[in-house]
């Protein structure tokens, strides 16, 4: 899911020039670290992913007789969960598309244990790309032209690691 969400994120941001605008904001920061990356990228990253999360749907099997939205669901029934539909109501709430309850609410019986890791990887990718290269759309989906920034740090280290 990290790869799929990352591909959709980069596609959306390069075709709308959001990545370039975010890069300008990132490079203008006097200190570029995790806290800065959260400030520059996090909210818009989550909102963008929430518009078309990967996977778009999942299926689960009911472990007990229950009800969903007022409809009876028998044990062993297969349920299709429309994550894209659910996320459309609140795209920036990453708990929906990762299957977790927001803090302070009833925990979901299953949620992605790698939520924080996945979001951190995507955040690091955005910071790393913004720190070192100029990424421009080519006109083809999921394809970007990458060239080094004029003053990018040498390979193996970026200011993002501070």
Distance set, CA 107 to CA 73, 89, 116 (Å): 20, 20, 16
Task: With a cut of 80, say whether residue 66 has pLDDT above it.
Answer: yes
Distance set, CA 120 to CA 34, 35, 83, 137, 152 (Å): 9, 12, 21, 24, 22
Cα four-point dihedral sign 152, 20, 146, 54 = positive
Task: With a cut of 60, say whether residue 132 has pLDDT above it.
Answer: yes
pTM summary value:
0.74
Which region among 4-8, 115-119, 139-143 has the lowest average model confidence (pLDDT)? 139-143
Instruction: Give the pLDDT score at 157.
Output: 46
**Considering the chain, what is the average pLDDT of its residues?**
82
**What are 93-103's pLDDT values in tens digits?**
776 666 666 66
Q: How many percent of the chain have pLDDT more than 70? A: 81
Task: With a cut of 90, say whether residue 29 has pLDDT above it.
Answer: yes
Q: Which DSSP state fits 161?
A: G
Dist CA 155 CA 65 (whole Å): 56
Q: For the residues 23-38, what does the mean pLDDT come to?
A: 94
Instruction: Give the pLDDT score at 154.
Output: 52
Distance set, CA 91 to CA 83, 138, 147 (Å): 10, 27, 32
Q: How many percent of the chain have pLDDT more than 90? A: 33
């Amino acid at each position: 899911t990290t790869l799929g969400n990352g591909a959709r994120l980069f596609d959306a941001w390069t075709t709308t020039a959001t990545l370039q605008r975010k890069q300008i904001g990132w490079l203008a920061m006097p200190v570029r670290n995790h806290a800065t990356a959260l400030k520059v990228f996090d909210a818009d990253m989550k909102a963008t992913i929430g518009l078309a999360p990967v996977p778009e749907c999942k299926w689960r099997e009911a472990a007990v007789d229950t009800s969903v939205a007022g409809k009876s669901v028998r044990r062993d029934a297969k349920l299709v969960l429309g994550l894209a539909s659910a996320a459309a109501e609140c795209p920036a709430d990453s708990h929906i598309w990762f299957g977790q309850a927001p803090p302070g609410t009833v925990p979901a019986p299953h949620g992605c244990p790698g939520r924080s890791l996945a979001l951190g990887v995507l955040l690091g990718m955005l910071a790393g790309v913004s720190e070192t290269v100029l990424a421009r759309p080519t006109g083809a989906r999921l394809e970007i032209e990458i060239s080094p920034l004029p003053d990018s740090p040498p390979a193996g280290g970026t200011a993002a690691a501070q």
